[in-house]
Chain A
Amino acid sequence: MIWQNWLLIMIMLSSLVPGLIIFSLGESRHGLRTSLNLFGAITKMVLVLVMILGIHQGHSFAVHLALLPGLELVLRADPLSALFVTLSSILWLFTTIYAIAYLEDSPNRSHFFGYFSLCVTVTIGIALAGNLLTFLFFFEMLTLSTYPLVVHRGTAEAMAAGRVYLIYTLSGGLLLFLGVVWLHNLVGPVDFCMGGQLAPLVESHGKTLFMIYYLLIAGVGVKAALVPLHGWLPRAMVAPAPVSALLHAVAVVKAGAFGIIRIVLDVYGLDTAGELGLLFPLMLLATVTIIYGSIYALRQDNLKHRLAFSTVSQVSYIALGISIGNPLAIMGGMVHLVHQGLMKITLFFCAGNIAETLGVHDISRMNGVGRRLPLTMAAFTLAAIGMIGLPPMAGFVSKWYLGLGALAQGQGWLIGILVLSSLLNAAYFLPILYGAWFKEQEAEWPDDSGMTGPLECHWMLVVPPIITAVISLLVGLLANSNLSPLAWVRFIVSAGYGL
């Protein structure tokens, strides 16, 4: 049917077209810009819903465009891409609402929202990429569309952070590019499919595959912020809060983690990767990153920096789950793609609210914030508890499956890592919660906007974190229902590995 071919393109266009129009709008056209943004975001959600229903009914969606003879750009919707697309489009809607209020009265908004839409379009492209070349294509575009957002404030600090960001991501892009070209040279275009297609080459080209693997993983590892490639992430925190939210939960870091999933599961395949001995080093790397990120998070007093290092740590759960190589652990890793996104975006929304409304950036000055901003801090608390992984929150579900998988795979020591990481998470989140709720306010807020009333600040700043926090609670509570991300992940994994 023809609509199936158009659906994917429509999903891309639903943010691209508003973005391009917004670029050309004058600075003062707030109303039109806001309508376009929301129209695009909602249209995309509806289209994604249609797509998911279609996939569920067994339709397949794919679009091809020949870039070079024998080399195609392919968009294809498989269950894994549906997972990422859904996450991105839902969180994009909330981030857009949040950003509209957050940037109220600040300059350069048409610029900002133009790139914002571009960035989401590209992320959707990454999610829908049906082969390695398409993934590379959009992955590189992501660098370019996020750079203007990182430097949006235009301060010397922002420009410096932008430079660091570019150096890291463009170098990573070059490594990825080289890896892709090399792999193409070996086997021709590489389609994503469960189990990969490299098994016949293990005997003859083992060493080459080994090197290509590290090129690819280093390429995506920069964006996934694997230690030691994470240096750009804390510095990029100078960007406005919605951008941090986007970077951490929707686009960049997620794209990197998603890339790891694709490369290990769909390019190499678990068996091939295991045979080549590629999983254990990734597991070690992920473990180191988890612990390193947590320890560094403990040492930050700036709230956004603490959250940034927390991302470094949390995103590596995804890589960890994949590298354990057991269906249960893969479920844990994949579902954390969604869970971490929901929780982390809530935390960044809240951090943005605290900074915007009170001018508070440091944790040491957050005492008593809970009384001043109860709704924001409630959302923050839910998300933080989820991050720590207390049952029945979303983070617990991820860790539970990671643990089960590790045990089934005979890697019991990983349970120790998970527990240690949870303790560290608790160590850097609980003091914030304790200070905010139970300590007395010590000094005047540095820059109190003075908004009171039923809502503590603009409703568009308060509602998104509350909704995402509630969703992150629900996906944990209702993990066993048919509509939860966990159920969808079970569907993905059981198709490939038979649970």
Chain B
Amino acid sequence: MMGLLLKNDCWLIWPFVLPLFGALLSFLFKQRPRLPGLIVALLTTLSSGVLAWKLVRHGVGRYDLGGWQPPLGISLRGDGPAVLMVLMTAVTGLAISIYAGGYFRSRIAKVEDERRHIIQERFFWPLWLLLWGALNGLFLSADIFNMYITLELVALSSVGLTVLSGKPASQVAGMRYLLVSILGSLSFLLGVGFLYKAFGSLDLATIQAALSFSPPVAMAMALISVGLLLKSALFPFHFWLPPAHANALAPVSAILSGLVVKGSWYLFFRFWLGFLPLIGDGGNAVMAALGGAAIIWGAFQAFSQQRLKMLVAYSTVAQIGYLFIIFPLTGAGAGPAASAVFYFAISHSCAKAAMFLAAGTIFLQMGHDRIRDLAGVRQLLPITSFAFALGGLSLMGLPPSGGFIAKYMYLSMAVSQDRWWLVLLIVIGSGLTAAYIFRAVSHILSPKMVHGQGQVVVAPCMEWSALALALVAILLGFIAPLPLALLGVTG
């Protein structure tokens, strides 16, 4: 039995199954969902780590659930990009889970309407663990129908998480999110149908190997692309994102911005790379143009926000742009481009989640998040303030941080391929990012002393988990060869 459990490829299922099991468990223990939630989060993180280790030791793993072969069975495939994303989800997810534990405890202790918070927590853990499992399933899926299922699971659980806060604004945002998500999923599903009709297979690798141009394939590509772009909130499909991310509970905002948008982007990237021979430069240029518009527009919007969480949410809109301007750079081989964009994605995940967690802590402590009234936060919450600033450092792409490494790779590729307008875009984008980050940071780290602010009500683990994530984003500035080696395991 143990031998079977430890068998090489078997490890693929644990990051997928464990959170689903945990979701069930925390739903059943509805009086105390926190404990099983945290334990399962820890186990999932460990299993993701082991998966990464196995990948490096033994190469790409493949596992057919229940022993059923494709095209009938569900099969999982853990190659470098997939496992890197699983690992990113694990690191970010663990920090968010620890934060959430303290967050709900502090809220239940602080606010009078205690029952509402207890119910929020009761639903948070099952939904979050379900989301985690579904995301891991999405990353590890080898066949496209499975991708659809996990995509749908991700969407439904994140909508559920969005509306948890119970505020009218979040209900409206959640409803809009739901509609966009369903539209996106349907579009994706239609595309999957076309592909299945054309190739008689659901295995992405098989399809991509047999790919040739025909009207149904073009239709499928268009449907899948639009569906995923909607979900990834690429400009101009970003309209639903800022209110949904900014009005959610603090850990939920971090989950949505740090992890969920990466899920649909990841699928897009995999599909698009496969479609590339058919699409050519035109499609790549469109992606880059939309990405560029996102970078500029998102940054301007972020700069003009009055609320901290809205600023961070619009920053996500801008940063998503960077995930798409990579496509014209895939011309000289997908490998370097994939390194750059995945490094960007994991750095952004840690940095952005840290910033949302910090913003949530600030909100809980101060009772508001109006940027111009944030002086004095540094005195009360020094760790949180530093976490926010360090996350911002990575977003700006200043050393030492993962963002710096990613920006270096982007610029280096753009220069070597003579894409000067992309160079210009990246340089301007960095400047704009710095502008909105410093707008927030100059208030949060303001040296002004404010007296008589009362007691600190937030749990220490909220402060430290955000700082830990921000420090991971900084650490990514020093250890780039390791994640890139992991990423490079393919075949």
Inter-chain CA distance A154–B446, complex, in Å, is 7
Q: Inside 8 A of B404's CB, which chain A residues have their CB?
A: 137, 140
Asked whether A140 lies within 8 Å of B398 as measured between CB atoms, the reply is yes
B423 is contacted by which of A69, A107, A178 (Cβ under 8 Å)? A178
Q: Inside 8 A of B449's CB, which chain A residues have their CB?
A: 107-108, 154
Given contacts A159-B442, A181-B408, whether A67 and B478 have CB atoms under 8 Å apart is yes
Asked whether A68 lies within 8 Å of B431 as measured between CB atoms, the reply is no
Residues of B378-424 whose CB lies within 8 A of A? 378, 382, 393, 398-400, 404-405, 407-409, 411-412, 415-416, 423
Q: Inside 8 A of A60's CB, which chain B residues have their CB?
A: none
Chain A nearest Cβ from B415, distance in angstroms? 5
Q: Is there a chain B Cβ closer than 8 Å to A64's Cβ?
A: no
Asked whether B447 lies within 8 Å of A148 as measured between CB atoms, the reply is yes
Q: Is there a chain B Cβ closer than 8 Å to A141's Cβ?
A: yes
Q: Inside 8 A of A185's CB, which chain B residues have their CB?
A: 412, 415-416
Q: Inside 8 A of A148's CB, which chain B residues have their CB?
A: 445, 447
Q: Inside 8 A of B478's CB, which chain A residues have their CB?
A: 65, 67
Residues of B176-230 whose CB lies within 8 A of A? none
Asked whether A153 lies within 8 Å of B447 as measured between CB atoms, the reply is yes
Asked whether A154 lies within 8 Å of B484 as measured between CB atoms, the reply is no
Asked whether B447 lies within 8 Å of A154 as measured between CB atoms, the reply is yes
Q: Inside 8 A of A153's CB, which chain B residues have their CB?
A: 447
Chain B residue nearest to A153 in the complex (CB): B447
Given contacts A65-B478, A68-B405, whether A174 and B427 have CB atoms under 8 Å apart is yes
Chain B nearest Cβ from A431, distance in angstroms? 35
Chain B nearest Cβ from A343, distance in angstroms? 30
Asked whether A68 lies within 8 Å of B399 as measured between CB atoms, the reply is no
Q: Inside 8 A of A23's CB, which chain B residues have their CB?
A: 382
Q: Is there a chain A Cβ closer than 8 Å to B364's Cβ?
A: no
Inter-chain CA distance A166–B442, complex, in Å, is 11
A181 is contacted by which of B398, B412, B448 (Cβ under 8 Å)? B412
Chain B nearest Cβ from A165, distance in angstroms? 11
Given contacts A154-B446, A166-B434, A170-B434, whether A140 and B415 have CB atoms under 8 Å apart is no
Q: What 1/0 flags go to B467-490 for Cβ under 8 Å of A? A: 000000000011011001000000
Asked whether B411 lies within 8 Å of A177 as measured between CB atoms, the reply is yes
Q: Is there a chain A Cβ closer than 8 Å to B157's Cβ?
A: no
Q: Is there a chain B Cβ closer than 8 Å to A298's Cβ?
A: no
Q: Inside 8 A of A166's CB, which chain B residues have their CB?
A: 434, 438
Given contacts A107-B449, A108-B449, A153-B447, whether A181 and B411 have CB atoms under 8 Å apart is yes
Q: Inside 8 A of B445's CB, which chain A residues have their CB?
A: 148
Q: Inside 8 A of B438's CB, which chain A residues have their CB?
A: 163, 166
Chain A nearest Cβ from B407, distance in angstroms? 8
Q: Is there a chain B Cβ closer than 8 Å to A312's Cβ?
A: no
Count of chain B residues near A, Cβ 8 A: 32
Inter-chain CA distance A55–B330, complex, in Å, is 47
Chain A residue nearest to B408 in the complex (CB): A181
Chain B nearest Cβ from A23, distance in angstroms? 8
B481 is contacted by which of A69, A107, A170 (Cβ under 8 Å)? A69
Inter-chain CA distance A151–B478, complex, in Å, is 29
Q: Inside 8 A of B407's CB, which chain A residues have their CB?
A: 177
Asked whether A66 lies within 8 Å of B481 as measured between CB atoms, the reply is yes
Q: Is there a chain A Cβ closer than 8 Å to B120's Cβ?
A: no
Asked whether B481 lies within 8 Å of A68 as measured between CB atoms, the reply is yes
Per DSSP, are chain A's interface residues mostly helix, strand or loop, or mixed?
helix
A141 is contacted by which of B378, B399, B411, B484 (Cβ under 8 Å)? B399
Inter-chain CA distance A140–B434, complex, in Å, is 12
Q: Inside 8 A of B423's CB, which chain A residues have their CB?
A: 178
Q: Is there a chain A Cβ closer than 8 Å to B430's Cβ?
A: yes
Asked whether A144 lies within 8 Å of B398 as measured between CB atoms, the reply is yes
Chain A residue nearest to B412 in the complex (CB): A181
B484 is contacted by which of A68, A137, A171 (Cβ under 8 Å)? A68
Chain B residue nearest to A107 in the complex (CB): B449
A69 is contacted by which of B393, B427, B484 (Cβ under 8 Å)? B484
Q: Is there a chain B Cβ closer than 8 Å to A111's Cβ?
A: yes
Q: Is there a chain B Cβ closer than 8 Å to A152's Cβ?
A: yes
Inter-chain CA distance A166–B378, complex, in Å, is 20
Q: Inside 8 A of B442's CB, which chain A residues have their CB?
A: 151, 159, 162-163
Chain B nearest Cβ from A171, distance in angstroms? 7
Inter-chain CA distance A268–B412, complex, in Å, is 20
Q: What 1/0 flags go to A159-187 for Cβ under 8 Å of B? A: 10011001000110110011001101100
Residues of B424-468 whose CB lies within 8 A of A? 427, 430-431, 434, 438, 442, 445-449
Asked whether A181 lies within 8 Å of B415 as measured between CB atoms, the reply is yes
Q: Inside 8 A of B398's CB, which chain A residues have their CB?
A: 140-141, 143-144, 173
Inter-chain CA distance A59–B400, complex, in Å, is 29
Chain A nearest Cβ from B234, distance in angstroms? 25
Chain A residue nearest to B430 in the complex (CB): A174
B427 is contacted by which of A67, A111, A143, A178 (Cβ under 8 Å)? A178
Asked whether B447 lies within 8 Å of A140 as measured between CB atoms, the reply is no
Q: Inside 8 A of B484's CB, which chain A residues have their CB?
A: 68-69
Chain A nearest Cβ from B122, distance in angstroms? 37
A171 is contacted by which of B412, B431, B446 (Cβ under 8 Å)? B431
Q: Inside 8 A of B399's CB, which chain A residues have their CB?
A: 136-138, 140-141
Chain A residue nearest to B434 in the complex (CB): A170
Inter-chain CA distance A127–B350, complex, in Å, is 31
Inter-chain CA distance A416–B445, complex, in Å, is 49
Inter-chain CA distance A140–B397, complex, in Å, is 10
Q: What 1/0 flags go to B274-301 for Cβ under 8 Å of A? A: 0000000000000000000000000000
Inter-chain CA distance A433–B430, complex, in Å, is 47
Asked whether A144 lies within 8 Å of B411 as measured between CB atoms, the reply is no
Inter-chain CA distance A65–B477, complex, in Å, is 11
Q: What 1/0 flags go to A423-434 for Cβ under 8 Å of B? A: 000000000000
Chain B nearest Cβ from A215, distance in angstroms? 11
Q: Inside 8 A of A170's CB, which chain B residues have their CB?
A: 431, 434
Inter-chain CA distance A182–B382, complex, in Å, is 39
Residues of A75-121 whose CB lies within 8 A of B? 107-108, 111
Chain A residue nearest to B477 in the complex (CB): A67
Chain B residue nearest to A166 in the complex (CB): B438
Chain B residue nearest to A67 in the complex (CB): B480
Inter-chain CA distance A138–B404, complex, in Å, is 12
Chain B residue nearest to A68 in the complex (CB): B480
Asked whether B448 lies within 8 Å of A154 as measured between CB atoms, the reply is yes
Pick the most buried of B378, B398, B408, B447: most chain A CB atoms within 10 A of its CB: B447
Inter-chain CA distance A321–B439, complex, in Å, is 40
Q: Inside 8 A of B408's CB, which chain A residues have their CB?
A: 68, 71, 177, 181
Inter-chain CA distance A68–B480, complex, in Å, is 6
Asked whether A182 lies within 8 Å of B409 as measured between CB atoms, the reply is no
Inter-chain CA distance A140–B412, complex, in Å, is 18
A-B interface, 6 closest residue pairs, ranked by CB to CB distance from nearest: A154-B447, A154-B448, A137-B399, A181-B411, A185-B415, A185-B416
Can you report 7 residue pairs joining A to B where beta carbons are below 8 Å apart?
A65-B478, A66-B481, A68-B481, A68-B484, A144-B393, A151-B447, A181-B415
Report A's interface with B, CB cutoff 8 A. 23, 65-69, 71, 107-108, 111, 136-138, 140-141, 143-144, 148, 151-154, 158-159, 162-163, 166, 170-171, 173-174, 177-178, 181-182, 184-185
Given contacts A174-B431, A181-B411, 6 further A-B contacts (CB under 8 A): A67-B477, A111-B378, A137-B404, A140-B399, A151-B442, A170-B431
